[in-house]
Chain A
Amino acid sequence: MLELRDVHKTFNIGTINEKKALNGVDLKLEEGDFVTVIGGNGAGKSTVLNAIAGVWPIDNGTILIDGENVTGLPEHKRASFLGRVFQDPMTGTTATMEIQENLALAARRGQRRGLKWGITKREKMQFHELLAKLDLGLEDRMTSKVGLLSGGQRQAITLLMATLKRPRILLLDEHTAALDPKTAAKVLALSDQIIEENHLTAMMVTHNMRDAIVHGNRLIMMNEGKIILDIRGEEKKKITVEDLLRKFEEISGEEFANDKALLG
């Protein structure tokens, strides 16, 4: 499915801002895995997702998707394997384009884009149906510009866009962090539903330990650019926030300093 072998990345090499962001990450995802990723600030959670997405080239190591080596592929080429939702609701959609146009863009992920119509009648009907399922009333506003929508609505649309064309892996990068608690819960539930219905393989970065425990079938914890804990199945179901904190201190020898993770 997805395999990371000894992935390294250092930012700003040779400057005073040099930062070892990934320090030998090894990870193997099975088909249908839904992995939650936790860790303190700067642990490398989002960096792992960006490495998989190819936002920049990695320094060392190999990234395989479905056995295919994608390490040398640029971001827009890897997009055909991936669905992505970002922390900032503004990042995932195009504000100046209509809701239906945004979805049409996503429907062509991984395809050649030529001089055929950017959106077809059949697609409009399909999008109407999908939007109605979100239950946000967006199906009646398909020609509205996405810029007019709220953050939660935009995240819901981004989720739809990320999964419209079945991705091999869905990458959720703290995608509810910028939303109010109620909306965040809604978007999270929607993510669960979409992942389950389509049997997707997914990785979700979160700073909320409880969310990380409740969602998914596998949990990894990162610290200083490394995966320090990887639990799944029954073991994951039984674990508590306190257990996680204790394990973190045991393994890393530090205290988990992240209020959001503790309180959230």
Chain B
Amino acid sequence: MVTIIPVLGALDPLALVRALPGNVSQGMIWGIMSIGVYLTFKILNFADLTVDGTMATGGAVAVMLILAGYHPVVAVIMACIAGMVAGFITGILHTVFGIPDILAGILTQIALYSVNLNITGGKANQAVSVDQFDLIVSLRYITSTIVVTAILTALIIAILYWFFGTEMGFTIRATGCNPNMSRAQGINTSVAKVIALIFSNGLVGLAGGLLAQYQGNCDVNMGRGAIVIGLASVIIGEVLGEAIFGNRLNFCGRLLFVVFGSIIYYIVISFVVWLGLPSIDMKLFSAIVVAIFLAVPYLKGKTKNSYRRAAKGGVR
């Protein structure tokens, strides 16, 4: 601690404050993707690794369409649809061909790498300038980006809240929790899984379309590690939401906290960069953060329920 303080003294706190709006806007775009991850990881209980590919697909589709003269809004909608197609493919690989969930996602993800390069005409990245096009989000206009993504997020949460209250939404929730019971109640669990994957990857594709506009280019690697960021957001949001609201946290609240989780993630990232963490170590850092967050609930459970404790004379 003593050695850190002089180091901190040499840092410029204002730089951190100045970075805040950028962290928020970036976090909100990734927040939309994280809602997608929430749908599969939390509701469907399906670790979907497609998203790393889907994020880049969304970006590639959006940028190429904008360059071809389509309106950026149309481009984002198409990015969303492209994501849905990717989710559909993972779903078919899993349900029709019986490939385990993680592997099905990885296969689609790898295939998308080639697909994405084909979309961008073989180039690893394609620029789209906010000076030439009327982009809906951009890091040059952070306030409007935050407003646009906030409206979009509210809309998405509203739609999902409605959807998961419908009969079809019920089938997805039931399938994720108890597939045996679901089938006994006449639910086609394969269909439910595919629908959830379509929804999830649609959101990821949409976020990819936004992110590409935001950063002014699409990159074939822009989705690398997206699943980790998504999981981080989901878990940070959950821990935080439950700490504040406990059991009263409803579905809308949970989705909202996923977005907060994503924003916090980017603030933390910006903080460690500010502290001087080299950017090449970023992914290592992210993975460690997620590993810790995933491990904490498990280890906490173990302290209450451990062999060592039992050996010491039980829980009395």
Contact = CB atoms under 8 A, between A and B. Distances in A.
- Is A bound to B? yes
Interface of A: 53, 75-77, 79-80, 82, 84, 86, 90-97, 101, 104-106, 108-111, 113-119, 161
B177 interface: yes
Given A105-B185, A113-B187, A94 B173 contact: yes
Interface string B107-126: 00000000000000000000
Contacts of A86: 180
Interface in B56-80: none
Q: State the majority secondary structure of interface residues on A.
A: loop
Contacts of A92: 181, 184
Contacts, number: 84
Nearest to A109: B186
The 9 closest A-B pairs by CB, nearest first: A79-B186, A113-B167, A118-B170, A109-B186, A75-B183, A96-B177, A94-B177, A76-B183, A94-B178
Contacts of B173: 94, 96-97, 101
Q: State the majority secondary structure of interface residues on B.
A: helix
Interface string B254-278: 0000000000000000000000000
B168 interface: yes
A46 to B, nearest CB: 13
18 contacts: A76-B186, A76-B187, A94-B178, A94-B181, A96-B173, A97-B170, A97-B174, A101-B170, A106-B185, A113-B167, A113-B170, A114-B168, A115-B167, A115-B168, A117-B166, A118-B165, A118-B166, A161-B185
Contacts of A101: 170, 173
Contacts of A105: 170-171, 174, 182, 185, 187
Interface string B179-222: 01111111111000000000000000000000000000000000
Interface of B: 163, 165-171, 173-174, 176-178, 180-189
Contact of B178 (A75, A76, A95, A115): A95
Contacts of A77: 186
B166 A116 contact: yes
